[in-house]
Structure 1
């Protein structure tokens, strides 16, 4: 007897519905906070589109305490775990680096550092907007397999030995390749928005985030990246947030 193809694991369905991450779902199921069709859910159970999923208020309350932090990462910090003697960007999340212009009503507490993880990478030699979150829903939205959230970058480049006005000598057909036509790691890249901001700087808008993607894209067309700054993720802008400082994602802000 073949299994109904419409059935999926409960944790996956909860993540697809935007209720939580899969890991959170497993935790909630284990605590007895999830019911399917009125009955307590068992770990590993599969559900169909017609099944009714309910989540206990305790889970919602715990979720409401989780924070998402926006950091203006400087050069020299890695996005994730410490490596080669370089500090993780999360070490900057401390009271003395909290931006005075933060308009959210959150107050810093050490518990906010527990489980705080980067939702996407930003190279050690790049600066700009980095998202750190305790919320699995935010992480899934930004770095999930089906994520289509835009990331915008300002990229200062040189074309061979030309550092002053590379725009004048960079071939238009190569600019077209940056927009669509390049492959990395044996896979074609998704279409990108790439335009000149000024004679030395390109603006990139991507909906994917392969390792060192922009630098590697530029190498393929003969450009060298001199400086890279991420200024936007989805609808959230870096704005006036000073380098090395952080703020909370506000309650009304959405990626």
Structure 2
């Protein structure tokens, strides 16, 4: 039995790398201890088997952006707590390897409409955060609303051209039927509560509301509470 030493020090002894390289290998998820990936350089080891992946790269992990299908009614802080390796979408478990570092320092912008579920964005990338903060007024969002009731005469036309309701000017949006009980809305930077108010103004009651797209990024096939990584090809 040897005295416990830091995993990074053991890796230096095994492969002859620098201390910084050892830390980057470990943070990148390239090091296994007794067959299990360990991502903390300060982990103490003794006689365990330490292995470095043959494709290991001594580089800091790239910042990630996470797309979450959030349940309705959660704060951003509560929604963030849903994100873990266990809740990665079933169809998205290939490609990027989830690392513990991916779930640190995540920030969000573009909150959902009140009582809405759907797409929330959490990111470590300052460029994306700035895009979703500074340019949000220019980015189109898409919602689908499950509705009850019968739409007023010429109601769809009114939604698409804007109108006055209870003395308030309501903006024009892109509205269309998906089916007999579901409306699709596309608009830029909707004010809080706008979609509920628009539906009420044409005689409809919203029984469910879900955001499915922000700019050029769609939520995709995610069950409620699941998430996926934003791919390099997707742009807001």
- Partner residue of 1:67? 64
SS at match of 2:127: helix
Structure 1 contact 141–147 (Cα < 8 Å) conserved = no
- Partner residue of 1:225? 206
- Partner residue of 1:98? 88
**Is residue 177 of structure 1 aligned with residue 158 of structure 2?**
yes
Cα separation, 1, equivalents of 2:164 and 2:189:
13
Question: Mean alpha-carbon deviation: is it higher for 222-231 or for 137-146?
Answer: 137-146
Structure 2 contact 72–118 (Cα < 8 Å) conserved = no
- Partner residue of 1:207? 188
User: What is the 5 A alignment of 1:82-231?
Assistant: 88-102=78-92, 105-123=95-113, 125-145=115-135, 147-159=137-149, 166-167=150-151, 170-172=152-154, 174-182=155-163, 190-231=171-212
Q: Residue 117 of structure 1: CA displacement?
A: 2.1
Cα separation, 1, equivalents of 2:107 and 2:164:
29
Cα separation, 2, equivalents of 1:152 and 1:175:
16
5+ residue gaps, structure 1: 1-60, 82-87, 160-165
Normalised to the residue count of structure 1, the TM-score between the two structures is 0.60
5+ residue gaps, structure 2: 1-58
SS at match of 1:101: helix
Cα separation, 2, equivalents of 1:219 and 1:102:
38
User: What is the 5 A alignment of 1:25-104?
Assistant: 65-78=62-75, 80-81=76-77, 88-102=78-92
Structure 2 contact 161–172 (Cα < 8 Å) conserved = yes
Of 197, 211, 218 in structure 2, the residue corresponding to residue 237 of structure 1 is 218
Q: CA RMSD in A?
A: 2.8
Structure 1 contact 77–124 (Cα < 8 Å) conserved = no
**Is residue 248 of structure 1 aligned with residue 213 of structure 2?**
no
The number of aligned residues is 177
Cα separation, 2, equivalents of 1:199 and 1:152:
18
The structure 1 segments of at least 4 consecutive aligned residues displaced by more than 3 Å after TM superposition are 186-191
Normalised to the residue count of structure 2, the TM-score between the two structures is 0.64
Structure of larger gyration radius: 2
